[in-house]
Structures are given as C-alpha cells and as structure tokens.
Structure 1
Amino acid sequence: MADTETGAARPRPATLPLLIAAVVVVVLALVVWALTADSGSDDSTVSTPAAESADAGFARDMAVHHQQAVEMSYIVRDQTDNEDVRRLAYDVAQTQANQRGMLQGWLDLWGLPKTSPDGYMAWMEGGGHMGHEPRDGSLMPGMASNTELDKLRELEGRQAEVFYLQLMYDHHMGGVDMAQACVRQCGVETEKQLAQGMVQGQQSEMELMTDMLKERGSAPR
C-alpha cells in the first residue's frame, strides 16, 4: 500500500525484534524444562512424550496454526493505516511468533519430528472440527483458505480491516479449540499451562475483535 503523502511503498515491519524475542523464549523454555525434569516434578515422568501423544501433536499443529496468524497479521499491516488494527496485528504476530518458537523448541528438546505422518489434528479427541472441515488449502479448522488469503492481500483500508478481523476471529476460534484440547489431554504440565494461557489470551482478543468489527458496521462471520 503506497504512502498517502509521498506515494512511496511503506516498508514492511522489521522482523528482527520478533526473531530475537522468539529465540529468547525458546532458550527460557528449554531452561525451565530442564529444571523441572531434574527437580522430580510430575513433568519428569513425561519429559519425552511419544510422537503420537497429544503433547507432541499440539506442539506440531499449533506451531503451524500460529504461523498463519503471523502471516495474516503482517499482510494487514501493509494494507491499512488504521493504528488500532495495526497495533492488534503487531500484538498477534509477536505473541504467536514467540509461542511458536516455544512449541518448536519443545519438539527439538524431545527429539520429535515437526510434522506427523498421521496428518493434522489426529491427536485431538473428536478431531476438533468445530462443526466444519478445513477447505480450499486450509490445513486445520479456523485457518484461512488460500482464496481468503489472496483476497486479504488485494483489499485495502476498511475492507482489509474488516476481513482481517473476521479471519482472525475464526482463526482464534480454532486455536482456542485446540488449546482447550491440550489442557484436557496433554500430560506435560508446562505445555498445559501455555495452552491455558492461549485460551485466555485469544478469547480476550476475540472480544476486542468483535468490538472493532461493530465499530466498522460488521460482525464475526
């Protein structure tokens, strides 16, 4: 999107701070994990979950789910000048990039692959489909389709804001569904605590998105 005064393209937000923050979170997660495993806590009995476990499945799938949220957030930051939407997009991107680094750090620590031969959502009891199936290139419930991502890239201004908020609301619905399943099914206490934090954080953002959509004469889909 061109700058309204100079006509020059606005540069993309710097990603270095996000990368640094993600590295820091991963290092801290590994340290905490090592300490809890050595301390004789309940986590020590499940310090290396099985590849097909809910712990590993959640880490793999949520990392992928988070990556799309980061992508959509950077798209909309280039498509609007509205500071409220840009601030929300930055917060979503920063939070989910950091959490994604933590999830992948655990998989590395456990020596488990970052992809599952059983496909996405196989670890979830009931599949977590929220009443609908992934479609048109979307990998999991709540994720945007290829067509929707292409549309978001084409929109600008208020139209981009509304569509982003609707897509991210759906995305958070899927994320909350997955995180609640981890709280129920995962055995690693540290991971369950992260999942519970995701539930609370994303539900709060969904309320904010609903208010922002209402201000724009719209609503979640």
Structure 2
Amino acid sequence: MRHAGWVAGGAAAVLVAAGAITYAVADGDDSGTRAPAADSADAGFARDMAVHHQQAVEMSYIVRDRTKNTEVRRLAYDIAQTQANQRGMLLGWLDLWELPKVSADPPMTWMGMGDMASGKDGSLMPGMATNTEMKRLGTLDGKQAEVFYLQLMTDHHQGGIHMAEGCVDKCTVGVEKRLAQGMVASQQSELDLMADLLHQRGAKPRD
C-alpha cells in the first residue's frame, strides 16, 4: 500500500505539472503564438507518441499481473504512470489546437518516415511490439515474463527516443520540445536500468 500511495502521489504531481503546461500553451505563454498546423511535426509527434505510449502502458499492466518481482513491478508502475500522464498531455494539446487525433497520413510522416512505418501485425511505429508479441507476453509468468517485458520495453524505448529526438529537432512549440527532451533523458535512464535487470536474469536486449 505504501508503494501504491507513492505512485498516486507521483501521478498527482505530474498532473499538476501537466495542467500548468497546458495552461501556459492555452494562455499563449510560449515561443509560438499560433496553434500548429495539422500536418506539422508538433501535431504529428503528439498523435504518434500518444499511440506509442498507450502500448507501453498496456504492456506494463500486463507484466504487473504476470510477476511478483518488486523491481520489475516498480519499473512497470513508473512507466505506466509516466506515459499515461504524458499521453494525456499530448492529446490535450491536440484538443487545445483543435486538431484531429487521427491522421490519414501514415505514422511517422512528420519525420519523413511515413513509407517506413511497418504496421505489420500491429507494430505501427519503430520499437512497437506486434500483436503476436503482446499476446505472448500475456501467456508468460515469472522470470520469463520479466525478461520478455524488459526486451520488448527496451525496443519500445529505443523507438520512443528516436521519435522524441525528432520532435526536439522539428517541433516548434517550446513546451512540447521540452517534454520531448525530458522523454529522451528519462527513457535513456530506464534503458540503463532495464539492461541491468536483464543482465541479472542472464539475458540481454534483442538484436
């Protein structure tokens, strides 16, 4: 229960920060004074990263119920809470900008990679797990679930970092660029932790 309270407190803090950032954008307190266009990097990143984050949340809740290991469960909780709140911010900005949350263009078009996004078996963007991999995660328990989750999430974070770096380079809304830079830093830190957790289990990231 203490951990649950800590998670709830952390989530509340993130929501307060999200509210402040959303207010700042709505109030025009940023480098940009106009809402970005529907085909802009700002809108594309918000749409695509919201989808990317949603899978990470789902994956984390799956492994939470498949293992009793404290370290992996804590990591999964942290990823789920952080990315759910960031997803809410991204979708909130799209609402604020009065832009659609779904685009007719392929994912990653804003990065010039629309023709490279796979879409195969549900893997819509770099690093995303396939539908088959998600189903397999739900059939594993204990150490096997932990290893597969850590491998899938390593791939997921690597793809997410690539996208966030694209926003840092291409986005024009200051708070969104700063959020993307924060994603790069936090997910890189989690990659280091996941590498250690895999090593402890005699495993390593997938090639």
1:28 Cα deviation (Å)?
2.5
Aligned length: 200
* Structure 2 alignment gaps of length 5 or more: none
For the residue of structure 2 that corresponds to 1:43, the secondary structure is: coil
Distance in 1 (CA, whole Å) between partners of 2:26 and 2:105 is 29
> Does the alignment pair 1:43 with 2:32?
yes
Structure 1: which 5+ runs fail to align? Answer: 1-12
Which residues of 2 match residues 8-87 of structure 1 at below 5 A? 17=8, 21=12, 24-35=16-27, 37=28, 39=29, 41-44=30-33, 47-87=34-74
Q: CA deviation at 1:127?
A: 4.8
- For 1:29-178, what aligned pairs fall within 5 Å after superposition? 29-35=21-27, 37=28, 39=29, 41-44=30-33, 47-127=34-114, 133-178=118-163
Secondary structure in structure 2 of the residue aligned to 1:167: helix
Tell me the distance in 1 between the aligned counterparts of 2:58 and 2:66. Answer: 13
Q: CA deviation at 1:185?
A: 0.4
TM normalised by structure 1 equals: 0.84
RMSD between aligned residues: 2.2
After TM superposition, give the deviation of residue 138 of structure 1 in Å. 1.2
Counterpart CA distance in 2 for 1:79 and 1:59 is 31
Residue 9 (structure 1) aligns with: none
Q: Which runs of 4+ in 1 moved over 6 A?
A: none
- Cα distance per residue 1:20-40 (max 9 Å; x no partner): 7476454323212134x1x5x
Match of 2:166 in 1: 181
CA distance in 1, matches of 2:115, 2:86: 21
Query: Is contact 1:128–1:177 with CA below 8 Å preserved after alignment?
Result: no
CA distance in 2, matches of 1:190, 1:182: 11
* 1-structure distance, mates of 2:66, 2:58: 13
Provide the C-alpha distance between the structure 2 equivalents of 1:90 and 1:128, rounded to a whole number of angstroms.
34
